[in-house]
Chain A
Amino acid sequence: MDSENQTPNKISTKSEPQTNVTAFKRKSSGLKRVMSPYSAFVYNVLNIGVIFPWVYLLSAAVFPGASIWLGILLTTIFASFIAIAYSGIASVMPRTGGDYIFESRGLTPWVGFPVVATMILFFFLQWDAIAGWLVSVLGLYPMFTSLGVTLNNPALISLGEWFATPWGTWITTIVLGAISTVVLIKGLQLFVKIQWFLWYSFLLSYAIIVALLFLTPHSVFVANYNSATLKIDPSANPNFYQYIIDYETSQGFNPSLQFSWIATIGVMAIALTSLGWVGYAQEQAGEIKSADSFKKQLFINFGGGIAAGLMMALLAFALVYQVGMKWLAAAAYGSYVSSNLSMPILPWFSTLIIALTSNPIIAFLATLGITMAAVQVVMNVYIGQTRVAIAASIDQVLPSWVSKINKKTGTPVNIQVLFFVLGGIVYSWVYNFVPGWIQYTLAVTAVATIMYIATTLAAALMPWKLKEAYSLSEVSKYKIGKVPLVTISGIIASAFSAWMLYYYITDPSLGVASIPSYALISGVFAAWVIYFALRRYYLWHKKGIDLDATFREIPPT
């Protein structure tokens, strides 16, 4: 039964002569399993992480002379080349497993498997924990705290504050991880249905927050911020807004706020932690409708990146417009970088809702969508992890147990449950309760960037390394001069990613340049290389399987 989607409307499906067509199709089928491109677009926008708070906070604290919104826009432009490179290679190899497939076939499995396994199979365990943290701290904490403040209900305030504690975050991570696991075990259909609710509630919340940031008079914001702070902590300084600036100045944090291009470029490295994921939907490329269409892929990856980039830039602009760069930098520095000041209201953009409205319904709606976007991140992480693991398992790089499909559910239950236990329970406990653990894991962004470099290089080399498949693809028609578009995009994208990687490993303010961090990255990568070598040896000698053959492009002559 045919599964290709190349049946055009004008071709007769019954071999009947037609007056206005010139091609004839025999009796046969012509359908393909799909996830709609719009679903994939939404998936990408939500995954890119408009809500990731460090883009706004870390940028303000570390690069106070930057224009955050401009830095985000510049990153969006460069990330567009990453998106084009992903679109090109994904349209040629529209297969579940995304980065793993592209790198192992487009470069070599000795690079592709360890790089992607280090990121998606290991460091994504941290994302299982961070995603739960996002739900708890960015969503539920401001939701209940703002409801408590607006309704004058101390119990709700306490509940809100509990969500920002390690126990609150850990339990939230476990509950959300369990729910996500159940949903994904039931199948992607259920996830897609839920995703529409997550998407539209997020858009509503985003619109409310941006509107409130623009429309609320600054004096009202400051007054509300101070009064809400006192409701949460009656012993706090009554002008806590100004106190934050004064305190951090007294601690030596008194940076120049004059616009600086160098600082703005620094923001790009931070913004890439979100916008670098423009190709993340490709981890499930085999489930996306018309994934072999370059134009559809552009809509998903390029379009998703542009949409998310514009939303992030607007949010950054609105945030700085309302709270002021001086305050944002001081609050971010005190709460996020140095942790030298305990703040009753943390400066996350969603938390500031507490000071932007006195209407509990608006506060609820504004925080609901942020919570839902964070829930989507939880699910995204599990989906990506499992898809990469399954692809590696089908190749026999990972054991077949990993890709075993449960008869009743038709889904890979084993790996879903394993990632939930490892990431959602064990790793999130470490993440929330082991002091100083974060210094080992801030390298996650550097590892992701190495993955972008490898995938975009694979895309750049595709016209030569995957010659036959490329020559038949739609993307092969797109050239600038005589150079394939995918090559140009891939080179620019990998050069840009390498530039940003240089920032991650050399700028201590980005938190990555530490010996423990380097050691963990190198150790995990080396462990995967050794695993691959041993697995290859075992398969050859015990099972007669030539693993190298799996990654070989078969020439037709």
Chain B
Amino acid sequence: MFRKSSPEIKRILYATDLHGSTLVFKKLLNAAKINKASLVIMGGDISGKIFFPIVQSGKNIYEVDYYGRKVTLNSESELNQFSTRLEKEGNYYKVVTKDEFSELIADEKKMNLIFQSLIIERLKQWVDLATQTLRDINVPLLISGGNDDDQIVVDSIINNEIVKNVDNKVYLEFQPFSIINIGFSNLTPFETPREKSEEEIGKLIDNLSEPYAKDPSHLIFNIHVPPYGSTLDLAPKLVKNESGELEMVLNGGQPELIHTGSKSVMDSILKYKPALGLFGHIHEARAAEKIGDTLCINPGSSYGDGTLNYALINIREGKILSYQLMMG
């Protein structure tokens, strides 16, 4: 109905904070095809968070502690089903013997190395899959890291004709736009792998943006941490409890929300006035907002329930025309 002609539109498809969910990554690739994207940008926090060693306790018998609940898998088929579920949720697993498991829990370094290798392995699978899928439609996929990604993980992304590791780089092949990509965040209470001071973030943005500052209408920021004081950076306020764990501050039964974004990012938006700002980091703060002349978008993330949160940015004749916040 009412679909006789289609306007000449280029589309950027942007999603972020996938946290290891292969299901959501596959949806991202499919969304690129369905929505006829011209460019796909995957923001940072690629890595998942939880590693489940699955202990083989007998022939075709496996045991795993799944969120505090002991799960026994009695066949290869059950093991496959369970491991698929873990992968869909963004988690990692490895089948180990009882002895290997004992070694793991006794050696933190070894456990971390295995965890890291699993993340890198999955990321390589993603890159292969993206290359196969997007090659047919000739759509590039830009990947940058986030604060939750170890540097070694980000560095493991090898460029090819489709997949581009743009972490802390400028991407110039989507003309007439210059896309500034920064994957660090400001300091968080979680002491994650890739955090920097506000001053450092400001310098990084300056270094990448200044050569392109003369043409702000064709400048795009793809920065993991959102601008401070916007609707894109509201997150629950946290305090450490007596046992040193972080917990939310509740007020009248509600979480007290505070701005957690980067002041340097906000200053840079106002300074360089890019046409578009793509952000992530705060999963709950799914929002779009005009800051000065800049359309700023955080599509949020619902990777845990297998949902792809994404934004489509529609471009006509080199100008940002409109956007859509989507879930699928």
Residue of B nearest to A24 (CB): B51
Q: Are B254 and A541 in contact (CB under 8 A)?
A: no
- Asked if A35 is at the interface of the complex by the 8 Å CB criterion, the answer is yes
Q: Are B67 and A26 in contact (CB under 8 A)?
A: no
A-side contacts of B23, CB under 8 Å: 468, 472, 556
Assuming the contacts A19-B105, A540-B3, asked whether A26 and B314 have C-beta atoms less than 8 A apart, the reply is: no
Q: Which of A92, A473, A543, A556 has the most CB of B within 10 A?
A: A556
Residue of A nearest to B224 (CB): A1
Assuming the contacts A34-B248, A35-B254, A554-B34, asked whether A23 and B236 have C-beta atoms less than 8 A apart, the reply is: no
Binds A, one of B135-143, B185-193, B206-214: B185-193
Shortest A182–chain B CB gap in Å is: 16
Q: Are A31 and B188 in contact (CB under 8 A)?
A: no
B-side contacts of A482, CB under 8 Å: none
Binds A, one of B161-169, B264-272, B318-326: B318-326
- Asked if B19 is at the interface of the complex by the 8 Å CB criterion, the answer is yes
Residue of A nearest to B225 (CB): A1
Shortest A548–chain B CB gap in Å is: 9
- Asked if A519 is at the interface of the complex by the 8 Å CB criterion, the answer is no
A-side contacts of B306, CB under 8 Å: 468-469, 471-472
Q: Are A537 and B305 in contact (CB under 8 A)?
A: no
Encode B47-64 as 1/0 by CB contact (under 8 A) with A: 101111101000000001
Determine chain B's interface SS by DSSP, over half rule.
Answer: mixed
Q: Are B7 and A469 in contact (CB under 8 A)?
A: no
Binds A, one of B108-116, B120-128, B176-184, B196-204: B108-116
Contact of B253 among A24, A35, A540 (CB under 8 A): A35
- Asked if A483 is at the interface of the complex by the 8 Å CB criterion, the answer is no
Contacting residues of chain A (524-557) with chain B, CB-CB under 8 angstroms:
533, 536-537, 539-541, 543-546, 549-550, 552-557
- Asked if A479 is at the interface of the complex by the 8 Å CB criterion, the answer is no
Shortest B311–chain A CB gap in Å is: 11
Q: Are B108 and A16 in contact (CB under 8 A)?
A: yes
For chain B, the bracket of interface size reads 35 or more
Q: Are A31 and B248 in contact (CB under 8 A)?
A: yes
Binds B, one of A3-11, A115-123, A347-355: A3-11
A8–B238 CA distance with the chains assembled, in angstroms: 18
- Asked if A21 is at the interface of the complex by the 8 Å CB criterion, the answer is yes
Binds B, one of A186-194, A204-212, A223-231, A309-317: A186-194
Contact of A188 among B89, B254, B304 (CB under 8 A): B254
Encode B84-114 as 1/0 by CB contact (under 8 A) with A: 0100110000000000010011111001100
B-side contacts of A410, CB under 8 Å: 231, 234, 257
- Asked if B245 is at the interface of the complex by the 8 Å CB criterion, the answer is yes
Q: Are A10 and B289 in contact (CB under 8 A)?
A: no
- Asked if A108 is at the interface of the complex by the 8 Å CB criterion, the answer is no
Shortest A285–chain B CB gap in Å is: 12
Contact of B328 among A6, A190, A192, A554 (CB under 8 A): A554
Shortest A171–chain B CB gap in Å is: 30
B-side contacts of A193, CB under 8 Å: 252-253
A-side contacts of B108, CB under 8 Å: 15-17
Contacting residues of chain A (373-406) with chain B, CB-CB under 8 angstroms:
394-396, 405
- Asked if B154 is at the interface of the complex by the 8 Å CB criterion, the answer is no
Encode B279-309 as 1/0 by CB contact (under 8 A) with A: 0011110010100000000000101111110
Contacting residues of chain B (1-42) with chain A, CB-CB under 8 angstroms:
1-3, 5-7, 9, 11, 17, 19, 23-24, 26-27, 30-31, 34-35
Contact of A8 among B68, B260, B307 (CB under 8 A): B68
- Asked if A414 is at the interface of the complex by the 8 Å CB criterion, the answer is no
- Asked if B66 is at the interface of the complex by the 8 Å CB criterion, the answer is yes
Q: Are A2 and B19 in contact (CB under 8 A)?
A: yes
- Asked if B78 is at the interface of the complex by the 8 Å CB criterion, the answer is no
A2–B257 CA distance with the chains assembled, in angstroms: 15
Q: Are B283 and A3 in contact (CB under 8 A)?
A: yes
Assuming the contacts A22-B52, A188-B254, asked whether A556 and B190 have C-beta atoms less than 8 A apart, the reply is: no
B-side contacts of A32, CB under 8 Å: 236, 284
A92–B254 CA distance with the chains assembled, in angstroms: 22
- Asked if A13 is at the interface of the complex by the 8 Å CB criterion, the answer is yes
Q: Are A29 and B188 in contact (CB under 8 A)?
A: yes
Q: Are A540 and B2 in contact (CB under 8 A)?
A: yes
A-side contacts of B326, CB under 8 Å: 549-550
A1–B236 CA distance with the chains assembled, in angstroms: 11
B-side contacts of A11, CB under 8 Å: 50, 67-68
Q: Are B254 and A546 in contact (CB under 8 A)?
A: no
Shortest A550–chain B CB gap in Å is: 6
A-side contacts of B148, CB under 8 Å: 2, 26-28
A-side contacts of B2, CB under 8 Å: 533, 536-537, 540-541
Contacting residues of chain A (460-496) with chain B, CB-CB under 8 angstroms:
468-469, 471-473
A35–B253 CA distance with the chains assembled, in angstroms: 7
Q: Are B255 and A34 in contact (CB under 8 A)?
A: yes
- Asked if A292 is at the interface of the complex by the 8 Å CB criterion, the answer is yes
A24–B248 CA distance with the chains assembled, in angstroms: 22
A-side contacts of B304, CB under 8 Å: 4, 6, 292
Q: Are A1 and B49 in contact (CB under 8 A)?
A: no
B-side contacts of A17, CB under 8 Å: 104-108, 111
Q: Are A8 and B34 in contact (CB under 8 A)?
A: no
A343–B282 CA distance with the chains assembled, in angstroms: 59
B-side contacts of A13, CB under 8 Å: 245
Contact of B321 among A1, A4, A31, A544 (CB under 8 A): A544
A-side contacts of B47, CB under 8 Å: 26
- Asked if A39 is at the interface of the complex by the 8 Å CB criterion, the answer is yes
- Asked if A150 is at the interface of the complex by the 8 Å CB criterion, the answer is no
Shortest B108–chain A CB gap in Å is: 5
- Asked if B251 is at the interface of the complex by the 8 Å CB criterion, the answer is yes
A-side contacts of B189, CB under 8 Å: 29
Shortest A29–chain B CB gap in Å is: 5
- Asked if B79 is at the interface of the complex by the 8 Å CB criterion, the answer is no
Residue of B nearest to A40 (CB): B253
Q: Are A25 and B49 in contact (CB under 8 A)?
A: yes
B-side contacts of A358, CB under 8 Å: none
- Asked if B170 is at the interface of the complex by the 8 Å CB criterion, the answer is no
- Asked if B215 is at the interface of the complex by the 8 Å CB criterion, the answer is no
A-side contacts of B190, CB under 8 Å: 1, 27-29
A25–B48 CA distance with the chains assembled, in angstroms: 9
Q: Are A28 and B192 in contact (CB under 8 A)?
A: yes
A-side contacts of B5, CB under 8 Å: 541
- Asked if B65 is at the interface of the complex by the 8 Å CB criterion, the answer is yes
- Asked if B312 is at the interface of the complex by the 8 Å CB criterion, the answer is yes
Assuming the contacts A3-B284, A34-B248, A36-B253, asked whether A472 and B111 have C-beta atoms less than 8 A apart, the reply is: no
Q: Are B35 and A549 in contact (CB under 8 A)?
A: yes
A94–B307 CA distance with the chains assembled, in angstroms: 11
Residue of A nearest to B190 (CB): A29
B-side contacts of A292, CB under 8 Å: 304-305
Assuming the contacts A1-B283, A22-B52, A556-B23, asked whether A10 and B88 have C-beta atoms less than 8 A apart, the reply is: no
Contact of A23 among B19, B50, B257, B289 (CB under 8 A): B50
Q: A1-B147, A6-B304, A556-B23 are in contact. List 20 more A-B contacts (CB 8 A).
A: A1-B190, A3-B235, A8-B68, A11-B67, A13-B245, A15-B111, A22-B52, A23-B51, A24-B111, A27-B148, A28-B148, A29-B190, A34-B236, A189-B252, A196-B252, A469-B306, A469-B307, A540-B2, A541-B7, A544-B321
Closest 10 CB pairs of A and B: A3-B283, A554-B328, A556-B26, A22-B65, A544-B314, A193-B252, A4-B304, A543-B322, A8-B67, A544-B9
A interface residues (Cβ-Cβ under 8 A, vs B): 1-4, 6, 8-11, 13, 15-19, 21-36, 38-39, 92, 94-95, 188-190, 192-193, 196, 292, 394-396, 405, 410, 468-469, 471-473, 533, 536-537, 539-541, 543-546, 549-550, 552-557
Q: List 15 A-B contacts (CB under 8 A).
A: A1-B147, A2-B17, A3-B235, A6-B89, A23-B50, A27-B148, A27-B192, A31-B246, A34-B248, A35-B253, A410-B257, A472-B306, A554-B328, A556-B23, A556-B24
